[in-house]
Structure 1
Amino acid sequence: MSDVRHVLVLPDRDAADEAAEALRERFGVREELRVVRDALAGEDDAEDAQWLVPVRDEEGRLDAAELDALAGEWEGWREEP
């Protein structure tokens, strides 16, 4: 088993919550997905935060291109593992 982890980066909390739900529905992700706020360096304003959805892919079954497309639906992106 490997420790592959993908991180979807989304512009706001609603987008992150919706993307997490889509991961469960479309990809069958069973783990409890946590949505995490990531404040940009030097910024205190909540408007300047990104929201992250980390997801483990120990079996390597999640397709990177499909995850990119999923994040793109909410104007986000996938960070490389």
Structure 2
Amino acid sequence: MTTLLVFADKEDAEEVAETLAERFPDIGAPRVVRETLAGEDDGEDAQWLVVVEGLGERALAEADALAEEYDGWREQG
């Protein structure tokens, strides 16, 4: 299952991706991807996604806590 963690700031997304990779090495390296909001012309309005595959229950709870800590949220892909 693909999990998407959404953040407003690129640095936050990168830090969360690194933290998840360190804590759960079996998931591999999460990808950080820029997503421009539909209908927005300004690049400042982009969201940053951390794309993670195969999170178990414990890792998912950790991802939720990290997302909340960095003012982000989780979406299932």
| The two structures share one fold, judged by TM-score above 0.5 | yes
4+ residue runs over 4 A deviation: none
- The answer to whether the 8 Å contact 1:23/1:29 transfers is no
User: What amino acid does structure 1 have at the position aligned with 2:65?
Assistant: A
Partner in structure 1 of residue 16 of structure 2: 19
Higher strand proportion: 2
Q: Which residue, 4, 9, 15 being the options, matches 1:7? A: 4
User: Is the alpha carbon distance of 1:45 and 1:16 closer, same or farther for their aligned partners in structure 2, counting shifts above 3 Å?
Assistant: same
Q: In structure 1, how many angstroms separate the alpha carbons of the residues matched to 2:33 and 2:18? A: 14
Partner in structure 1 of residue 72 of structure 2: 76
- The answer to whether the 8 Å contact 2:27/2:53 transfers is no
- Cα RMSD of the aligned pairs, angstroms, is 1.7
Q: In the TM superposition, what is the alpha-carbon distance from 1:62 to its structure 2 partner?
A: 4.3
Could you tell me which runs of 5 or more consecutive residues in structure 2 were left unpaired when the two chains were aligned: none
- The percent of aligned pairs where both chains have the same amino acid is 53
Q: Would you say how many aligned residue pairs link Structure 1 and Structure 2?
A: 76
Could you tell me which runs of 5 or more consecutive residues in structure 1 were left unpaired when the two chains were aligned: none
Query: 5 Å matches for 1:1-80?
Result: 4-57=1-54, 61-63=56-58, 64-80=60-76
- The answer to whether the 8 Å contact 2:4/2:51 transfers is yes
- TM-score, normalising length: structure 2: 0.83
Higher helix proportion: 2
